[in-house]
Amino acid sequence: MEETNASSTVQVESDSSPEIPDTYTNALCYQDVPKDLSGNQKRWMLVGICLNCIISPNLRTYVKSVMVQLYSSLTKSSTMQIDLQTYPNHLKYYPSPSKGYFLNYETINNNYKLHGRQKEKYDYKVQNELDLSKLFLPMNMTQYTAFDGTCDSSALLGIIINNTIFPSSLQNDAKLMRSEVRHPWAHCDFKKWDSIEYSKSFKSMEKLVKSLDLILSEENRILAELKKWETTEVASVTVDTNLYDKLTTLENENIALKAEMQIRDNNPIPINIRGMLPMRM
């Protein structure tokens, strides 16, 4: 039996194999992708499906719920109203200079585009939980417009890693996920995507899901989806060439966007700096 999605981009010749979501057209790999796929290339593709169509959607839901709660607390606090704050009495670190992240206000209210490095002119009013999440990221990772498909796994993992409101165990697993799955997948070297790398990637994804501390039924549902893909027979997967036409287009768009974001004063993209600037207590 052959199962296909609506666009017939990927086919899995198995009665029990899961359908490939239509949303798996945002995959990117920074090298030419041959249309005659090897086993390693198919493993890379299957991991990408899980990363983009299972892990990322569930992380968006989780991260959004946490940021909604944090935004509410920071607007109702007796000492901090982040939606009304002005320079120089704005929140500079969260949660504190010693344990916090140096918040990046270039990323909201069109601040960098309007004022460059003149931070005294920035609009420091944080208008919603989406803008709040961007304060924990470098500029080149904040082009998302909602907690939807525009907010990719790189941004989601970065928000978790840089914000101590998330449990330390989850932050550690997010770091592992970024180094062992997301980065190797996004900047792929097909020679490395053997069965060992494939198995390690699924273990990292499963560990991250368990760290979300979801209700048991939801956790089991997500883990079951991952297991279906992990146990898919690589040899049974065939790929329509239309998929790679889409991947090539999206790859070029992504590279162009990153290049545009990095042409900024000939200065590097701001990075997190800890303990270097004072914070209003």
| 125-135 per-position pLDDT tens digit | 999 999 999 99
267 occurs within a structural domain? no
The answer as to whether 275 is a domain residue is no
Distance CA(92)–CA(31), nearest Å, equals 39
Most distant CA atoms of the chain, gap in Å: 65
What is the pLDDT, as a whole number, of residue 173? 98
Residue 234's pLDDT is 78
281 located within any domain: no
Per-residue pLDDT band for 39 (boundaries 50, 70, 90) equals confident
In this structure, is residue 271 part of a structural domain?
no
Taking each helix axis as running N to C, give the angle between helix 39-50 and helix 195-211, from 0 to 180 degrees, rounded to the nearest 10: 10
Q: Is the pLDDT of residue 84 over 70?
A: yes
Kindly state whether residue 16 falls inside one of the protein's structural domains: no
Q: In this structure, are residues 281 and 92 in contact, taking their beta carbons and an 8 Å threshold? A: no
Query: If we measure between CA atoms, which residue out of 168, 115, 111, 167 comes closest to residue 134?
Result: 111
Say which range, 35-39, 111-115, 137-141, has the weakest mean pLDDT.
35-39
Q: Is the pLDDT of residue 250 over 70?
A: no
d(CA 261, CA 254) in angstroms, rounded, equals 11
Has residue 224 been placed in a domain? yes
pLDDT at 253: 52
Q: Is residue 278 part of a domain?
A: no
Domain of 209 in residue numbering reads as 39-262
The burial of 57, by beta-carbon neighbours within 10 Å (0-12 exposed, 13-18 middle, 19 or more buried), is given as middle
- Name which residue leads in pLDDT, 98 or 13: 98
Q: How confident is the model at residue 240 (pLDDT cuts 50, 70, 90)?
A: low
d(CA 147, CA 61): 8
- Is residue 31 situated within a structural domain? no
What is the count of structural domains for the chain? 1
